[in-house]
Structure 1
Amino acid sequence: VALTSLILARGGAVLAALIVNLITSVGQLLAIWLIYRWRFAPDFAPPGASLRLIELLRRAWPFAVAALLAALQLRLSIILLEIFAGISAVGIFAAAYRFIDAGRLIPGALFGALLPALAARTADPQQRNRLFRRALIGLAGFGVLAAVGFSVAADPLIALIYGPAFAESASILPLLAWGLLFNLMRGGVTLYLYAVARAGLANRIAAGMIVIQAALSLWLIPTQGVVGAAFGWLVAEIAAVLALWRIVSARR
């Protein structure tokens, strides 16, 4: 955080700050691994441990790809905004997007429990599908409430939190808020696909969504600025939900 703040305070680019974040994250991972090897690693490897590790890595690979795609989608709009609209547009967009991050907190707790709950019901598809429907209805209901609330209160919220300098953020908060609805539904459907061992398919949909978001952003940001970035994110989320829902409906 300190290095990122220093870069931005000195007028550095957002891309440079993201690179620093990546480097520090790699450093943290390396430090954790060294601590594990020093204090917690066993003195011997049980028979077949290397094979089990390879199998574990193979199964974990789709989740690593999913994390990479999620990070790319999160930063795509910011990077393209800086390139085509300038650093001030990045600030306007980021200010509105903070409310979306806040809106994800409660559903994020649900996601943490939903995947193991769905996976535990693999042997009983009816029970698993019943749980999935309840979770999706809950996510949709929360998303609608959040979207309506943020849309109605966009102007006073931005004015209260950021002040008049960020008034333009209120114009994109409703677009991002409705995008949150589809983002939450996409998260729920994606977890269902993880539970039925179709993580690779979910990742292909996510990659396609990023392509759509990038194409729309490249088209709209040069002329529409932050509104174009928000609209591109919204349309990409809608497209991903429609594709995922079609696949899940065919399976059930």
Structure 2
Amino acid sequence: MTSTSSQRLLARNTLLLFLSYLSQAALGVLSAVILARYLGVEGFGQYALVMAVVGIAGHFVELGFNTFLTREIAQQRSEARRFLLGSWLAKVLLAVAMAIPYYILLKVGFQDRADVLLAALDLTPLLVLIIALNASISSVFIAYEHMNEILLFNVLAVTAQLAGLFGLTWAGYNVDALIWWAVIVQMARFIFSWYRLERFLKNKDEGPIETHGWGWLKFSMNLIKRAWPIGLSTMAVTIYSRLDVILLSFITGDRMVGLYSAAYRFIDLLRMLPGAFQGAYFPMISRAEADGLGTEVERNFKRARRWSIGYGLGCVLIIVILAPYLIRWLYTEQFAPSIPILQSLVWIMIPLVINDLMQTYLYATGREILVPKISFIGILINGGLLLWAIPAFGMMGAVMSVLISNVVLSGLFWNMAIRKQLGQGKM
């Protein structure tokens, strides 16, 4: 593949993933607006806590399989169906293993929380498993660089999810009903996307599946063994990114979580474009690395790093100016305390997008084991700062902690992992 055609394919896949992520971001923002207006600050805080728990539990069940599948199938496409089925069995095993300690922790740590919140948290393992199964299907399409199917799945799921959220909140239902609706939508997506994948793979040159019976269990356990370094990485990153919401909930209560999460929704939205680029970039550099094209991989990384810094600075400039209008227009006046939070929180975009890019680079070049090592240092720093700053400064303390720890994390990734591999001390 020539350099020009490679760049065109990257641009096309980035656009398709961007549109796909745009639909997910639209769901995040619009659902936040609906929930904020109908459930109020406290109800929205409960929903945000459930989603934070779903995020952490989800990465335990996925255990890095999504990134692992994309890399492995991109390098050996004839094994796509075998990897898919093996990952599904592995995720079911991991979901069962996660559910037992999860329910014990739920009974011990959440005894004094609202009944409606406990009912929603009871559904988390089921929702997590279905989302994880769907993610395996998406990983296969990404490995084939066939992003248009993912766009279709996301648009349909987002439309159904928003319709349900609006209808249920308008009818007066609480958070537990919203989580039930999310389970139904994800199950429908699973059935439809599996059907589309089978049609897609039918036309591909695949070898016969030689795994049978108990061999599937052995194969799935082997996949877990191979994927765990990436899984450890993603779990560390997720715990790091959700720790602020979890600790805010326990230290300050649902209202503060609601105000903080309203601001953080915009950070999730701003991460959409670089996330789309990295999703398209990952299978391409994985293949280049496998083909021994290390110079091309390094050159593309340096270019992407400069772009990420510029993008982060642009986000800061726009949000600092528009934050008062965005918060009041979307969430109503009761969320006005979120304005200074958003104006301060947006500064994390600069180190955040760079950190995401450096992690993608390490995954693609087979050095994913470095990610959890560095991320666990970040967790310790972030956790220590949060435990001190939240009681002292509330939401703004959480913002300060997240910003400082992300800057430190950028320095650690660059000096401990990236700089040595590139062989240069500059961009």
Do Structure 1 and Structure 2 share a fold, with TM-score over 0.5?
yes
Q: Could you give the per-residue CA deviations for residues 164-219 of structure 1, whole angstroms, max 9, x where no partner exists?
A: 21111111112221112211100001111112221111111112111111111100
Q: Could you give the per-residue CA deviations for residues 85-111 of structure 1, whole angstroms, max 9, x where no partner exists?
A: 222111110010010011111111111
| Partner Cα separation in structure 2 for residue 14 and residue 137 of structure 1 | 46
- In structure 1, what residue type is equivalent to 2:227? A
**How big is the shift at 1:237?**
0.9
Match of 2:370 in 1: 201
**How big is the shift at 1:51?**
6.5
| Partner Cα separation in structure 1 for residue 221 and residue 255 of structure 2 | 46
| Partner Cα separation in structure 1 for residue 118 and residue 245 of structure 2 | 12
> SS of the residue aligned with 1:199?
coil
| Partner Cα separation in structure 2 for residue 194 and residue 226 of structure 1 | 33
1:161 aligns with 2:330: yes
The correspondence of residues 19-30 of structure 1 with structure 2, limited to 5 A, is: 19-20=121-122, 22-28=124-130
Structure 2, unaligned runs of 5 or more: 1-30, 32-42, 48-112, 137-189, 199-207, 423-427
Match of 1:94 in 2: 261
TM-score normalised per structure 2: 0.51
Match of 1:124 in 2: 293
Match of 2:282 in 1: 115
**How big is the shift at 1:14?**
10
1:251 aligns with 2:424: no
- In structure 1, what residue type is equivalent to 2:420? A
1:175 aligns with 2:350: no
Moved runs in structure 1, 4+ residues, more than 6 A?
Answer: 29-33, 46-51
- In structure 2, what residue type is equivalent to 1:248? I
Match of 1:80 in 2: 247
- In structure 2, what residue type is equivalent to 1:150? I
- In structure 1, what residue type is equivalent to 2:418? V
| Partner Cα separation in structure 2 for residue 245 and residue 13 of structure 1 | 45
Q: Could you give the per-residue CA deviations for residues 18-41 of structure 1, whole angstroms, max 9, x where no partner exists?
A: 8445322345379889x99xx99x
- Tell me whether 97-106 or 48-57 shows the greater mean CA deviation: 48-57
- Whether the 8 Å CA contact 1:172–1:227 is kept in 2: the answer is yes
Structure 1, unaligned runs of 5 or more: none
- Whether the 8 Å CA contact 2:45–2:258 is kept in 1: the answer is no
How many residue pairs get aligned? The number is 245
Judged with a 3 Å threshold, the aligned counterparts in structure 2 of structure 1 residues 156 and 197 are, in CA distance, closer, same or farther, namely same
| Partner Cα separation in structure 1 for residue 298 and residue 222 of structure 2 | 28
Judged with a 3 Å threshold, the aligned counterparts in structure 2 of structure 1 residues 134 and 31 are, in CA distance, closer, same or farther, namely closer
Match of 1:152 in 2: 321
**How big is the shift at 1:241?**
0.7
Identity of aligned residues (%): 28
| Partner Cα separation in structure 2 for residue 235 and residue 159 of structure 1 | 28
| Partner Cα separation in structure 1 for residue 281 and residue 120 of structure 2 | 31
Judged with a 3 Å threshold, the aligned counterparts in structure 2 of structure 1 residues 171 and 121 are, in CA distance, closer, same or farther, namely same
- Whether the 8 Å CA contact 2:45–2:255 is kept in 1: the answer is no
> SS of the residue aligned with 1:197?
coil
**How big is the shift at 1:13?**
8.2
- In structure 1, what residue type is equivalent to 2:268? D
| Partner Cα separation in structure 2 for residue 87 and residue 30 of structure 1 | 27
1:45 aligns with 2:211: yes
Match of 2:379 in 1: 210
Judged with a 3 Å threshold, the aligned counterparts in structure 2 of structure 1 residues 215 and 60 are, in CA distance, closer, same or farther, namely same
Match of 2:273 in 1: 106
